[in-house]
Amino acid sequence: MIYSSRFTCVIDTCVLHPLHVRDLILWFAYSGLFVPKWSKHIFDEWRELMFRKKVPKKEINHRIDSVLNGFPDAMVTNYETHIVSLTGINKKDRHVLAAAIKINASLIVTNNLKDFPKDYLESFGLYAKSAADFLVDIIGLHDEEAIKAFRMMVVNRRNPSINEHEMLDILRNNGLKDTADYIHALI
């Protein structure tokens, strides 16, 4: 369970893509509901994932630049020395845990929960949560602020513009059924 709105979360690559999941998480962060963090490794993986998904290079750069400019203090640095010692986790995910340890994060937000063994994370005082569970927790803690953030996301949506109910359907189709249903019940 999440107990504070000022907790710090490392956001894994799989949460930065797809677009609508990332947007909702970042609007919640922009609204001050939590502090997002990531690393160069995470952004390198995100860039590669978008490339594999055939996102045009110009759009890839725009998305990354927008996130970096929107959250200039979110980049974790000097975490690399921790990577080698993290033998209780898959080699390809060690950088995420290393970044979380470096900044004493409260949580890792990832949809690859199987890659982050609960007992191993707990030995560092960390937990992992899926994007869907994370968002439901945020809404439960701060429903009014979460609804404002959701509405800001919808109002600022372009190409194409959509209404709140259309966005809720998009969120449901992106694996956020409980999140969308919770928001729907509050609007």
pLDDT tens per residue across span 89-148: 999 999 999 999 999 999 999 999 999 999 999 999 999 999 999 999 999 999 999 999
Taking the CB of residue 58, how many other CB atoms lie within 10 A of it? Answer: 8
Which of these, 30, 124, 17, 113, lies nearest to 79 by C-alpha position? 124
pLDDT digits (tens, 9 = 90+) for 42-98: 999 999 999 999 999 999 999 999 999 999 999 999 999 989 999 889 999 999 999
Q: What are phi and psi of 128, to 5 degrees?
A: -120, 145
Delineate the domains of the chain, giving CATH numbers in brackets.
8-131 (3.40.50.1010)
For 20, half-sphere exposure in the C-beta direction (CA atoms, 13 angstrom radius) is: 22
